[in-house]
Amino acid sequence: MKKQKLIAIVGPTASGKTGLSIELAKRYNGEVISADSRQVYKGLDIGTEKVTKHEMRGVPHYCIDVASPKRAFSVEQWRRCALQALKQIDKHGALPIVAGGSGFYVDALVHNYSFPVVKPNTKLRNELKKKSTEELFETLERLDPRRALTIEAKNPRRLIRAIEIAIELGKVPSLSKKQSNFDVVWIGIFPGLDVLTERIEKRFYNTTRKGLITETKKLREEVGLSWKRINELGLEYRIVGEYLRGEITKEEMREKNIRELRKYAKRQMTWLKRNTKIQWFKNKEEALAKITLQP
């Protein structure tokens, strides 16, 4: 059985994955599947730097704006979305390009992970909710250091769920892999930590200028999300929420956001460096100059 060709573009936040995916799609008749755990949500546009219709340049994109921010969208739900997208792309005779910073999501699709079925444990959850995010993260690191590499360390909902799964299974959960159905070309973008930090700072300035604070207010006041749910949507929204509640100043919000994004980028790279099949480039221009995809 011939395996389906798949391009996987990975890298830390603000590295340039979106731009490269669109350029390759234009060059090789491709269509893009977003592997971003938050761009699946409607209304999370500015904080996630969601690609716009103009930026897409006519390239079809999938798994964006497919869920309500009121309810959590799991990696398994994303994998199903991606599989449906692959069917559509195959019908179009196009090249599928999976691009995003959620390395765990890309791995789940490529390696056809089988996820453990663990029912919610209300008693355990109530106990864990009393702990700080730092304590939750330390607990997860002890139980499942591999999962701790990919999780957002300040996201209590995801931390609690990860701990719940580890405890239920009675061991560090290992995701079972099935035979991959894909012939994958792995492409990584990493400009170096210093350049990446500059980009993270620039991106945060841009998102605040575009209206990140207003977007967070809208999620709270118009969509009706609780502060707890806003915290779960990622560090940008969580930290802006702290500012809106008067817990930190605007300057502290800026400094904290940049600091936390830098830490997150480091964790993303720790996860991705495990994959020795990734061919790394410093930027989009270098990648486009050197990549030649075979039909």
CB atoms within 10 A of CB 57: 11
Determine the Cα–Cα distance for residues 48 and 38; give it in Å rounded to an integer: 7
- Name the E strands within the chain: 4-10, 30-34, 61-62, 95-99, 182-189, 279-281
Determine the Cα–Cα distance for residues 172 and 3; give it in Å rounded to an integer: 31
Which pLDDT score is estimated for 82?
A: 97
Determine the Cα–Cα distance for residues 181 and 93; give it in Å rounded to an integer: 17
Which pLDDT score is estimated for 271?
A: 87
Which pLDDT score is estimated for 172?
A: 46
Determine the Cα–Cα distance for residues 75 and 106; give it in Å rounded to an integer: 10
Contact 162, 244 (CB under 8 A): no
Which pLDDT score is estimated for 211?
A: 97
Domain boundaries, the chain: 117-174, 194-264
* Tokens standing for residue 226: 């609780």
Which pLDDT score is estimated for 180?
A: 78
Contact 102, 38 (CB under 8 A): no
- CATH of 194-264 given 1.10.287.890, 3.40.50.2300, 3.90.420.10, 3.40.50.2000: 1.10.287.890
Contact 54, 32 (CB under 8 A): no
Determine the Cα–Cα distance for residues 232 and 38; give it in Å rounded to an integer: 10
pLDDT tens-digit series, residues 30-86: 999 999 999 999 999 999 999 999 999 999 999 999 999 999 898 889 999 999 999
Determine the Cα–Cα distance for residues 265 and 260; give it in Å rounded to an integer: 9
What stretches in the chain show pLDDT beneath 70? Answer: 1, 116, 170-179, 295
Which pLDDT score is estimated for 175?
A: 59
Which pLDDT score is estimated for 176?
A: 57
Whole-model pTM?
Answer: 0.82
Which pLDDT score is estimated for 229?
A: 94
Q: What are the residues whose beta carbons fall under 8 Å from the beta carbon of 38, sequence distance 6 or more?
A: 44, 47, 48, 233, 234
How buried is residue 245: exposed, middle or buried, by Cβ count under 10 Å (0-12/13-18/19+)?
exposed
Which pLDDT score is estimated for 103?
A: 87
Cα–Cα–Cα angle for 105, 149, 205, rounded to 5 degrees: 80
Determine the Cα–Cα distance for residues 6 and 9; give it in Å rounded to an integer: 10
Q: DSSP letter for 245, please.
A: T
Q: Does domain 117-174 have CATH number 3.40.50?
A: no
Which pLDDT score is estimated for 112?
A: 84
